[in-house]
Structures are given as structure tokens and as C-alpha cells.
Amino acid sequence: MVKKILKWTGIVLLVIIIALAAAPFLFKDKIKSMVVKAINNQVDATVAFEDVSLSLFKSFPKASVTIDKLSVINKAPFAGDTLVYMGELNLNMSVKELFKKEGETMNLESISTKNGLVNILFNKDGVGNFDIALKGDPNQPATTEPSKPFALSIQNYDVQNLRFKYYDERSKIKVVIDSLNHTGKGNFAANKLDLDTHTTATLTMDMDKTNYMRAVKLKLDAVLGMDLDKSIYTFKENKAFINQLPLEFDGSVAIQEAGQQIDLTFFTPTSSFKNFLGLIPEAYSGSIANVKTEGDFTIKGKVNGLNGDNSVPKFNIAFASNNASFKYPDLPKSVEKIVIDTKIINETGVLNDTYVNIDKLSFKIDQDVFDASANIRNIIENPLVDARLKGIINLANVSKAYPVKMDIPLTGILRADVETKFDMAAVDAKAYEKIQNKGNISLSGFNYKVDGFAHPFVISQADVQFNPNRVNLSRFDAKTGGSDIAITGTLDNFYGFIFKDQTLQGNFNMNSNKLIVADFMAPAPVKTTTTETTSESKEATTKTETKKTTTSNAVKIPAFLDCTITAKANSVVYDNLNLTDVSGKMIIKDEAVALQNVKTSIFGGNIGFNGNVSTKSATPKFNMGLNLNSLDITQSFTQLEMLKSIAPIADVITGKFSSTINVAGNLDAKEMTPDMKSLTGDLAGSLANTVINTAKSKVLTALTTNVKFLDPSKINLNQKINLTFNDGKVNIQPFNIKYQDIDVKIQGTHGFDQVMNYNVGFDVPAKYLGSDVTKLLATLKTDGSKISIPVNAVITGTFQNPKVSTDLSKSVTSLTTQLVQQQKDKYVNQATDKGKELLGNLIKGATKNNGATTDTTKTTTPKTNAEVKQQAEEAAKTTVKNAVNNLFKKKDKKE
């Protein structure tokens, strides 16, 4: 009997499991149809989802409907903006709800979401993007309300990892609530209920371009009394934390047609000064559990009124502390005599009438006392600021009294005594005459590790005076690494830079004894690559986007600078170069530096240049005009990579070099050195006092091997040279040099990769062609001073592995033609017996010089003029060929 019961029980369980597994396939289309109907009946927006699935196991014994990647995209006037996105939306209900007939309402018992976004926007006209409910046609008669596919009988809900964004274009208020996790339990079937909620999130808030809160951690555990008939929500039991600051709330919020009627009070449940430290994020304040405090700190606030389209609730928030102190257990010093008296008040319900009074803010560390006070009014339209600052701070004591995490502890004495009064409209308009300033700030002995610098930055003394219309930097003496700088000048837009993210404008004079450029060009902070799930897609699908924030060590000229610097330096070290007596002007603007009238001494001469460098694009660029005067050739062409690439052979020449160079191209983003492959430009230069060392050049060695009479050390190079370069190739414009009484013409190209193609043309007088040609000329009674031979040498290969070739056949033909042209009339037109005899001797000599063993008895004296002409040409050609071969080719070893 037991076996039968177990058997049938197993069969029943198996049937149930099969039914549970099969049910999603049976009901899926029905559920999907109801979801589509529910959406289309409610909203005027573009709604899409990837899929709808049904599971009887996920929330057993409840049925669970999952909608994947649901998105709601606005139509005009917010066309394309995402209103809502849910990575996953789960609806739970009783299984029996699945068996209801078409048109019957299904009751939902719980809702949960994951990885969602709610994006609330108000445009400049005050219209919100959340008003997407379908509205009836006023011209059509009222009809029976369509049946609702779903009804809410919710007992609990759950929100995981929601991002809430709010932006009002009119007030420029931006609020982001991130990593929002929220749960609520209550019987929504009842009209009155208590909702038990638990919430954690981070809050960031900006107004205009000013940040007021940055990733503030929020936590709230509250029981809300909800009257759904009257839309009134009352705070009952609650406990909130802002960072580590505890707060409690009392009051209610009522939803009305005109807005939200708010009546709330909040306060700190205790008055310990730890409440103040709790306001500071734990990452900056550390654990405050064991901090010893004295005195009090309280926050009290009241908010009352209508939050509507044209009003905000009145509010009064007070922060107060008197004669308080705190000391961290692991630090040697304490902060004492802390006084805080600050209020944020709105008495009219008009947001612009909000004002902030910092009546007193003061503290003491050791013997140093610091006081501040300020008043800010008219905060939305045109904030009016009236502030005072006075006191002394020994910065070394800051890290001894407060847990500041720094690579190198701060040092230095800060003294301030400043009063300022201004309005933001004057800052925006740069109406400095309307800004009232007086006082001064000084900093001495300051030592700080600045991001982006290779070494700590040490300011021995900095003095700033605040005058009615500008800020004067009367002294700034600093060192970093091996560099020192002294700066004086004026700041013309200090408040625009501080409060409005405007560029920092000014004019400065800078002096330095030694300036090492590498000290100021250390790599920028490395940016890491992050992966973020992006739910703000205008498409109806989920996009998991990897932000390709590249890891970069690029040097960037700061975008916030708009200033002129007139600089002088006794010594500047740039890469491997040592420059002396450097002077010039730098105009820094729009992430670029314009260099004007820059002069320096280097390589035994001096350089002057004008141009600009820009780091605005991903690849830095430069454009420069240089004037080089009497530079040592060896030093400049071996130490300057650009000149070395332009003229690789110059390192075998000693002497002086002067030129003008126009060059443009890209810069290496890390080292700020020229990218040789990108260079374009031209060079016009001249050489003086030159001496050539042939042994140091494989090119000259190869050339002299093929051209025996050439001794490069005797070449006169004191002349002008012009060239252009582009796409990694240098084009030498033809130029002539004189080697003794030989004219030489040089032209050709070479690449920065050292590959070359040059033509060297020699116009060689006949006397260099050897004794055979000399005898020939004597025999022919020809003036050798009027005979020359053109020889062309082609140099290819690379500077380290050159190849030299000469076209001797053309040289032979040229000289033969010249000789025959001069002598043919002499022998042909005067075909005397004496002439024929001389010609016979010439032919015999030619045969002998050719190395042939010809039987001279076969050589006959020509009888006719034609024979004279033919044999004369052949004899001259043979003699010339031998001479040229001896001149341009190595002799055979046997010879």
C-alpha cells in the first residue's frame, strides 16, 4: 500500500512539475498581449521591450512575469530622450490569475526592477518630460473607460540599482541619485496603510556650474503612513543618515493638483560634534567612532509650503556649533574653538529669494586662528557675494590634526586678510570695476606634490594683493626638481576662473636661473578604462558600453589658461639640449602656446624663432620659423634629431652653419618632440669655415674609390644650400661647388630612413685623364685647356651602405667627339703625307695603349680622306676610353 502511495505521489509530482514547466509556453502569448495592451492604453510615448517571459519556479508558488529591457522614449518636445529604462521588470501574481478570461483584470501582488533609469527633465518653458499619459479628445463624447489588463494589489516592491536624474533648464539645477536600492512592504489594496521602506543611494547636486554635493551617501529607514484617498504621506518611524550624519524627520507631504504641499521638520537626534564630522564623506574624514569631541553641533530645519511650477516651499535650515573641538586618536594635534553659525533661508517661496548667511566660521590649531564670514543672496538670477577671510594656518598642522591622505605632507604658512564683494553678473561681463576687493594673501614654505609633476612643488614665497579691479601677484618664488622660477604679474579674471569655470587671464613676467623642461612635462594622470552599463539609450535595447577612455600620458597645455608670459632664463634644459640666455614671449590660449621673438644661445651660435604649439587635438602640432646663426655644424647636426635627419652627412663637416628653417608637423604626445615622419618645410642655409673628414663618411669613401682624382678634404663648401622636406623625404635643390679647377654639381633626394638617390656631376679638364690623353693631345697639337669631360656619379643605397656608379660610356663618347671635332678637318682637309704619317703613329699608339697584341704590319697608312677620317675617330676613341677607364676604375691587380 505504501509503495502504491509513493508511486502515485511521484507520478502526481512529476505531472505538476511538467505542468509548471509547460505553463510558460501555454500562457506566454496571452501575457505578452496583455503587457502590450496595458502600455498602449496608458502612455503617449515610444515604448519597446525585448521579451516577455513567464516562470512558475522563480517566485513559487506565485507566477512571475519578466519584461526584459523595457524602455520609454519621449516624443516632442523631448523627442528621443529616455524617460524610463528598466533592464528587468518583474511582475508577480497568483497562479490563478493566469486562468482569467480575455478582458478580465489580473491582480499584481509585487513588483521588482533591476538596473533602471528614470530621467526627469524640465525645459526652459517649465514643461516636464514625464507627462506622457494619454489624454482624451475633448471634441469626442465620453466613452466607457477601457478595461485595465492589470490591477495593483501590491504587498511589496523592490528596486535594485536605479539611477535617477533630474535637470531643470530654467534654474540650472541638476540632481543625480545613483545606485538607488529601495524596498517597500505594505498592503496597497487598502486605502490607508503603513509602508515600511529601506533606502540607500548616493546624491550629487549642481546648480548652474557650481557643485554643492558630490556623491553624498544617503540612507533612510522609514515607515510612511499613506492615505491613498487624500494622497497624503506622513513620516512616522524613521532614521536617516547623510554620509555619517544622523537625521530624523517629522511631517507630511500631500500631493495636490498644483504641486506638493510639504510640511516637514528635521533635526539631528543628538548634539555631539561628531554630527559635523559625519557630514564629511568617510573617504575624507576616516572613521569617527573613536574621535574625541567636545561641544555641540546641530542641524535643524523646517520646510513648509507648496512646491509647484512657480513656487518652492519656505524653509529655514540652521547649522550651529559653539566652542567645539575634536581630536583623532592617532594624530598628535586637535582642532579647537570651533564656531559655526550658518543659515540657509527662504522666507517668500520664490527660489531666487533664498539667501545663505555664514555669520561666523572659525577654528584654532595650536596658536593659529582662522576666521571667515560670508553672505550670499539672490542665488539664482545674479548671486551677490559679500565675504571676509582672516587668519593664519600652519599647513603642516593640518595633517597632524585631520586625516588628510597625501603622498608628501603639506608644509607652509598661509596668511590671509581679504574682503571681497561682487555679483556674478559683473564676473560674467568682466566688469572688474564693479568688484570690490581689498587685502592680501601670502604663502611661504609651501611643499606639495602636484599631480602631473615629476617632483614636489616648493613655493618659498607667494604674495597676492587684492585690489578693486584686479589681483596682483607681486611675488612667486618656487622650485621643482632642478628648476627655479620667479613670477610677478596680474590676474584679470580671478573670480570668473574660481566661480564660473572661465579661463584664467593674466600677464606675467617670469625669470629663472635654470629651467628643466622635463620638470614641468611629467605625464598627466593615467585614465583607466571602465565598463558601464548604459541605460540611457534612445534605442529600445540595452547597450553595455565600454568607455574607451584611453590610458594617456600625453602632455596637455591647460585649457583654462589665457595669459601672456614674458620670460627670461639663464639656462634651459630641453631633452639633451642645454640652452643659455633664453628670452621671449609666450601667449597661452585655447590649449596652444604662441612663441614670439624667442632667442637663445646654443652650439657656439644663437637661435631665434617664432611659432606655435597646440595640444588641443589628440595629436599635438607645431609650426615654427627658426633663424640659426653661426651654429657649430658638428654639435647641431649630431644633437638635433631634426637636423640630423635633414642632413645626415653633415656630421663629417666641421665649421659654422647659418640658415632659416620653416617647419611644421606633429609632436610626440609624451615627450613633445617632433614626429619626424610628419615634418614639412624648407631650409635655406650657408656654410662657413668648413673642413671635411672623409674617413668618417662611408658615402665619401665610396665616392673617392670610384673617382680617383677627388680629394673631398680640398672641396670648398662655403656656399648657400636650399632644400625642402615632406613626407619623410628631403629634396636638395641643385647647387655647385668648386674642387680646384673642377666644377661639381650636386642634386638629389634622401629620406629620413637614410635611403638616398643623388647625382654628382663633374666637369673634368682633360689634364686629369692621364699621360695617354696628354700625349694624344700633344700629338694632335690640341689645346688641352679647352677640352673637358662630363662625368656623372649616381649615389644610391643608404648613408651606411652606399652604392656609387658612373656612366663611363657617355664620358668616352663626349671626349672622343670633342677631339675628333677639333682634328678631323686638320687631317681630312689637309691629307698630306705628313698628316697621314702622324695619323698612322696615333693609330699605332692607340693600339698599343689598348693592350692588344695586334700585328702592326697589318696597320696601314690611310690612302683616302675617308680612311683618314675613320681611322682618326677610332684611334681617338680608343685612347680616350683607356684614359677614362684608368681614371674611374680600379687597376687590375696584375697591372
Average pLDDT over residues 687-716: 76
Q: Where are the domains of the chain?
A: 1-132+147-170, 243-392, 561-743, 789-797+805-888
Average pLDDT over residues 660-674: 85
Spatial separation of the C-alpha atoms in residues 359 and 361, rounded to whole Å: 7
Let me know: does 733 contact 754? Beta carbons within 8 Å.
no
- DSSP annotation string for 504-524: EEEEEEEEEEEEEGGGG-PPP
- DSSP annotation string for 335-375: EEEEEEEEEEEESSS-GGG-EEEEEEEEEEETTEEEEEEEE
Let me know: does 244 contact 278? Beta carbons within 8 Å.
yes
Contact partners, residue 76, CB within 8 Å, separation at least 6 = none
In the predicted structure, residue 634 carries a pLDDT above the cut 70: yes
And the C-alpha cell for 707? 673617382
**Residue 671, amino acid:** E
Let me know: does 519 contact 455? Beta carbons within 8 Å.
yes
Range scoring the smallest mean pLDDT among 363-367, 537-541, 695-699: 537-541
Predicted confidence (pLDDT) per residue in 222-250, tens digit = 998 988 888 899 988 888 888 888 889 89
- What pLDDT was estimated at residue 837? 52
- What pLDDT was estimated at residue 700? 79
Q: Which residues pair with 344 in a beta bridge?
A: 317, 356
Backbone angles phi, psi at 508, to 5 degrees: -135, 155
Q: Which residues pair with 373 in a beta bridge?
A: 388
Determine how many CB atoms are found less than 10 A away from the CB of residue 170: 12
Contact partners, residue 871, CB within 8 Å, separation at least 6 = 839, 843, 862
Q: Which residues pair with 442 in a beta bridge?
A: 415, 463
Is the model's pTM score more than 0.85? Answer: no
Contact partners, residue 680, CB within 8 Å, separation at least 6 = 663, 664, 665, 725, 726, 727
Predicted confidence (pLDDT) per residue in 189-224, tens digit = 788 888 899 999 999 888 776 677 778 889 999 998
Using alpha carbons, select from 341, 344, 426 the residue that is nearest to residue 377.
344
- What pLDDT was estimated at residue 739? 76
Rounded to a whole number of angstroms, the distance between the first and last alpha carbons of the chain is 126
pLDDT-based confidence at 11, cuts 50/70/90? very low
Predicted confidence (pLDDT) per residue in 591-601, tens digit = 888 989 999 99
Pairing, β 788-797 against β 355-365: unpaired
* HSE-CB for 869 with a 13 A CA cutoff: 9
Determine how many CB atoms are found less than 10 A away from the CB of residue 246: 18
The total number of residues written for the chain in this structure: 895
Q: Which residues pair with 611 in a beta bridge?
A: 595, 624
In the predicted structure, residue 302 carries a pLDDT above the cut 90: yes
Using alpha carbons, select from 633, 736, 738, 643 the residue that is nearest to residue 689.
633
Predicted confidence (pLDDT) per residue in 475-520, tens digit = 999 998 889 999 999 988 777 777 667 788 889 999 999 988 778 7
Backbone angles phi, psi at 726, to 5 degrees: -165, 145
Predicted confidence (pLDDT) per residue in 318-365, tens digit = 999 999 999 999 899 999 999 999 999 999 999 889 999 999 999 999
